[in-house]
Structure 1
Amino acid sequence: MKLEKLKNKKVAVWGYGVDGRATASFLHKYCPGQKFDVLCRKDETDDQPWNFVTEAVTAMVLNAYDVVVKSPGISPYLEPAKTVQCQIISSTALWFDNFKNATHTNIHVIAITGTKGKSTTSAMLTHVLRDMGFEVELAGNFGKPLISCNQPVDYVVLETSSYQAQDGVIKADVAVVLNLYSEHLNWHITEAQYHADKMCLLNQAKHWVLNASDVNTVSYLAEKGGGTQEKIHWFNQVNGFYELNQTLMYQDKALLSHFGWQLKGAHNLVNAAAVLEILSVLKLDVKKALNSLKFFAPLPHRLQPLGECNGVRFINDSISSTPHATLAALKTVENDKTILLVGGFDRGVDWDWWMEAIKKKPPKIILCSGDNGEKIHRLILNHEIKTQSIWQPSLKTAVKTAKELAQAGDVVLLSPGAPSFDAFKDYQHRGQQFAQWVR
């Protein structure tokens, strides 16, 4: 929606988190004289020139407005959003309509999504592009809000959640889908809807970069169709860039081993394969990028080593919010003396397959806490996993127990496989608390 179309309309910003605050600032700056309300909780209000409405948001409240700019975390599939008559748009749509497609047409947008790996891949691509001398904004779910990106840069790397992809308004030069698992079912309702909303990122993209080894991506494309041979570019397959035995390959040529850079795990080499395929699509220097990748540092809370005490290593993988991420962490650590801390906010995802996946080589001890901790603990017992499973009332007590049980040579790994919102502000807060408790 063009900003001039807001004139003489009743406008509201719904939600006042990072995206909502940025949207309110955007409207105040670029729509001088335009009055609007911010719909949020009373404890979120601050000293700003716009009006706050802190009553409960109902369909009646929303229908008092002509246009509502919704924050990404609010699901359109749940009440009150699904039954309103007012026009609901996103800040992403505002940015594309008023910057990318209006005054900043030379910006190249690379939008990256995936159930896991999107933050690391987005940061990795940003690092490489900046090393090549380009002006780059890292935005979206990781980085600054897209609506705040108002400078004429060369590239915007847009780390895109399923929430942000769902309305299909992102007009990317390159859209990247790293993988599709099961996640955010409290927002999308079903796994099928979650996958469909993720794939909306492709709707208006010029080029698609997709993971040839991801079963859900391949099957979705086979079922739904769309795309041409010229538009679709595959990574992690033997005709291009792929990971094999912890080595990054191009066709039959080894490019980078896991010893040759700072990141750990085969999954990160798959992320690197995606980055190189993106650069190939953009017709940029892949050889130069390879050298740059060697100096890319791991992001915090992603298999982050916290040091060693009395022969026990502590690793913070608080970013892990799905069972798939936890399984990848276990494969990366590769220690049969691992004490694993799992559990958090319960989004209703399936853990049964995970139990079967770890059965042959389970962690030494699994400490379960959080909203879904007791459920995970019961599943471990039901599947007869040969490990010591202990349910704990909180992550803090789980860490205390882990320190008491750990022996020299053990690894204490926080990789919850679930979101943090049951007890923490976000995954960073959870990781920071873990780092404090293990000291």
Structure 2
Amino acid sequence: MKKITDYENKKVLVLGLAKSGVSAAKLLHELGALVTVNDFKQFDQNPEAQDLLTLGIRVVTGGHPIELLDEDFSLIVKNPGIPYTNPLVEKAMSMALPVLTEVELAYQIAECPIIGITGTNGKTTTTTMIGLLLNADRKTGTARLAGNIGYPASEVAEEASAEDDIVMELSSFQLMGIKTFRPKIAVITNIYEAHLDYHGSRDEYVKAKWAIQENMQESDAIVLNWNQQELQELSKTTKANIIPFSTKEQVDGAYVLGGKIYYKNDYIMETMELGVPGSHNIENALAAICVAKLKAVPTDIIRQTLMVFTGVPHRTQYVGEIKGRKFYNDSKATNILATEMALSGFDHSSLILLAGGLDRGNSFDELVPSLKGVKAIILFGETKDKLHKAAVEAGIETIRLTENVQTAVQDAYDFSVKNDTILLSPACASWDQYPNFELRGEAFIQAMNQLKDIEK
């Protein structure tokens, strides 16, 4: 990492722990800062704070006392999950105290190029694809995944050498806390309405996403989804070199024409050869191909890599087959849009959909067009009655209500025949029955594996 001196003997407040906060605190401590960590969780239930204390880092736990700001800090490094409406954050900003996120620190110490990926949907899949493509035929260095994908950016940047690339998934929350952050290549997969409870308005959400290119120059490249008029308009305001991708028209980047994928007129592969289904995954692949080509990855390596990529866990992930029935885990589909995208990748006449979960008060009228033609639907959780109504409106003949994901797998298999597909794509959050979407997806996989053992 770069040995910077910017933080030597400066008082820095790290607000909120979790993985990124711990990494930021340790890095700042190593860089000579006088670090105070403040976390809401009580000390006796806070192993992260206990660990930092043993390193000689000051910790304040059990709340976010505004009085901390009387201590003349030079800046705050904030956990992305803490909203800007937090009283301590609001007070800091009124004092013109810089409030950064950990990805800014990562950029400041990184010796290698950063490829930043953001968007409403597809970030993790696209980030994973890019990492695989850049490592597939690599002779020196490594493409290292970082950021919102689960590896603290500052920790990865500290370990990376000049020969590496950091492929960094970035949320809107993280991008709100940047100052000098400048990726060599940026990707915006798409922009839809999301996280309005955090950002307050769609305009503020879009502004946060678009911040990824704030410091980019003509020698940098930004990969944009040309299917979205909004991104076409925003592209007029960036200094970066624009590389578009589209499934709808031929562009000066990656595009689909007649079921074939091209990059700047060079044939890459058939869309049907992609290892993951769905129109959204074609878009993700196009974005990843743009980055791979910018990094001079050969076409045959791109094709081979994307053919065998079967998805990120819980995101339209192929998980197995039982007597001719294929199973896909899309537990990450916690909203209607994500399920619509998943449904677009399958033949509805042989598709059995498993859906349901936390009731957030919305109806499922928007989902009805995407449900039409689905062979059967198995519903569970708080929203099963609302989804039942949508399924009836869509004309689905076989609708079954069940207890949870585990029983849904059994019900779906009992109804299925050879060559059917059983897809978990809930269109809802998991919190009514499962602590998170990952555990819901694991329950689906476990139920399938138990069924496989029985059906041997």
Residues 52 and 258 (structure 1), Cα distance of their counterparts in 2 relative to 1, 3 Å cut? same
**1:26 paired to 2:35:** no
**Selected match of 2:100 from 75, 89, 95:** 89
**Superposition TM-score, scaled by structure 1 size:** 0.82
Residues 341 and 246 (structure 1), Cα distance of their counterparts in 2 relative to 1, 3 Å cut? farther
Deviation readout 1:19-75 (Å, 9 max, x if unpaired)? 12222222333337x342241413333441234433233545566672332112222
Q: What is the alpha-carbon distance in structure 2 between the residues aligned to residue 252 and residue 8 of structure 1?
A: 53
**1:132 paired to 2:131:** no
Query: Tell me, which stretches of 5 or more residues in structure 1 are unaligned?
Result: none
2:454 corresponds in structure 1 to: none
Alignment of 1:33-52 (within 5 A): 34-42=34-42, 43-46=45-48, 47-48=50-51, 49=54, 50-52=57-59
The answer to whether the Cα contact below 8 Å between 1:305 and 1:314 also exists between their aligned partners in 2 is yes
The answer to whether the Cα contact below 8 Å between 2:254 and 2:290 also exists between their aligned partners in 1 is yes
Q: What is the alpha-carbon distance in structure 2 between the residues aligned to residue 211 and residue 270 of structure 1?
A: 8
The answer to whether the Cα contact below 8 Å between 2:172 and 2:209 also exists between their aligned partners in 1 is yes
2:119 corresponds in structure 1 to: 114
1:303 corresponds in structure 2 to: 316
**Selected match of 2:270 from 234, 248, 257:** 257
**Superposition TM-score, scaled by structure 2 size:** 0.80
**Selected match of 1:316 from 323, 329, 333:** 329
**Shift in Å, 1:374:** 5.5
CA RMSD of aligned residues (A): 3.3
The percentage of aligned residue pairs carrying the same residue is 27
The answer to whether the Cα contact below 8 Å between 2:37 and 2:60 also exists between their aligned partners in 1 is yes
The answer to whether the Cα contact below 8 Å between 2:356 and 2:380 also exists between their aligned partners in 1 is yes
**1:385 paired to 2:390:** no
**1:367 paired to 2:344:** no
The answer to whether the Cα contact below 8 Å between 1:77 and 1:189 also exists between their aligned partners in 2 is no
1:13 corresponds in structure 2 to: 14
The answer to whether the Cα contact below 8 Å between 1:40 and 1:52 also exists between their aligned partners in 2 is no
**Selected match of 1:214 from 228, 233, 240:** 228
Q: What amino acid maps onto 1:192 in structure 2?
A: D
**Shift in Å, 1:366:** 4.7
Residues 279 and 397 (structure 1), Cα distance of their counterparts in 2 relative to 1, 3 Å cut? closer
Q: What amino acid maps onto 1:114 in structure 2?
A: G
**Shift in Å, 1:419:** 4.2
Residues 426 and 25 (structure 1), Cα distance of their counterparts in 2 relative to 1, 3 Å cut? farther
Q: What is the alpha-carbon distance in structure 1 between the residues aligned to residue 375 and residue 412 of structure 2?
A: 13
Residues 73 and 405 (structure 1), Cα distance of their counterparts in 2 relative to 1, 3 Å cut? farther
**Shift in Å, 1:92:** 1.4
Alignment of 1:270-289 (within 5 A): 270-282=283-295, 285-286=298-299, 288-289=301-302
Any idea what SS the aligned residue of 2:198 has?
Answer: helix
Deviates more, 1:88-97 or 1:400-409: 400-409
**1:142 paired to 2:149:** yes
The answer to whether the Cα contact below 8 Å between 1:184 and 1:347 also exists between their aligned partners in 2 is no
Residues 397 and 88 (structure 1), Cα distance of their counterparts in 2 relative to 1, 3 Å cut? farther
Q: What is the alpha-carbon distance in structure 1 between the residues aligned to residue 436 and residue 243 of structure 2?
A: 34
Residues 80 and 380 (structure 1), Cα distance of their counterparts in 2 relative to 1, 3 Å cut? farther
1:326 corresponds in structure 2 to: 339
**Shift in Å, 1:404:** 5.6
Q: What is the alpha-carbon distance in structure 2 between the residues aligned to residue 111 and residue 80 of structure 1?
A: 29
Residues 25 and 386 (structure 1), Cα distance of their counterparts in 2 relative to 1, 3 Å cut? same
**Shift in Å, 1:146:** 0.9
**Selected match of 2:348 from 323, 335, 347:** 335
Alignment of 1:215-254 (within 5 A): 215-219=229-233, 221=234, 225-227=236-238, 231-236=241-246, 237-239=249-251, 240-244=253-257, 246-250=259-263, 254=267
Q: What is the alpha-carbon distance in structure 1 between the residues aligned to residue 149 and residue 176 of structure 2?
A: 17
